[in-house]
Amino acid sequence: MFTQYNTDGFIPLIPGIRMKVVGHGAHTVTTLFLLDAGVDLPRHDHTYEQTGVLLEGKMTLIIGDETYEVSPGDSWSIPPDVPHEAKTSAYCRAMEVFSPPREDYLKLAGILKE
Contact 84, 63 (CB under 8 A): yes
pTM recorded for the entire structure:
0.94
What is each CA distance from 99 to 22, 25, 32, 80, 110, in whole angstroms?
14, 10, 15, 9, 19
User: What tens digit of pLDDT does each residue of 45-67 get?
Assistant: 999 999 999 999 999 999 999 99
Q: Tell me how many degrees the CA angle 50-114-48 measures, rounded to the nearest 5.
A: 15
Task: Check residue 6 and give its pLDDT.
Answer: 87
Task: Check residue 114 and give its pLDDT.
Answer: 72
User: What tens digit of pLDDT does each residue of 21-41 get?
Assistant: 999 999 999 999 999 999 999
Q: Provide mean pLDDT across the span 4-8.
A: 89
Residue 113 pLDDT greater than 90, yes or no = no
CA distance 55 to 50: 16
* Residue ranges of domains in the chain, CATH in brackets: 31-94 (2.60.120.10)
- Polymer length of the chain: 114
User: What tens digit of pLDDT does each residue of 68-107 get?
Assistant: 999 999 999 999 999 999 999 999 999 999 999 999 999 9
Residues 6 or more apart whose Cβ sits within 8 Å of residue 87: 39, 40, 41, 59, 60
Strand residues in 1-114 grouped as ranges (E)? 11-14, 17-24, 29-35, 40-44, 49-56, 59-63, 66-70, 75-78, 84-88, 92-99
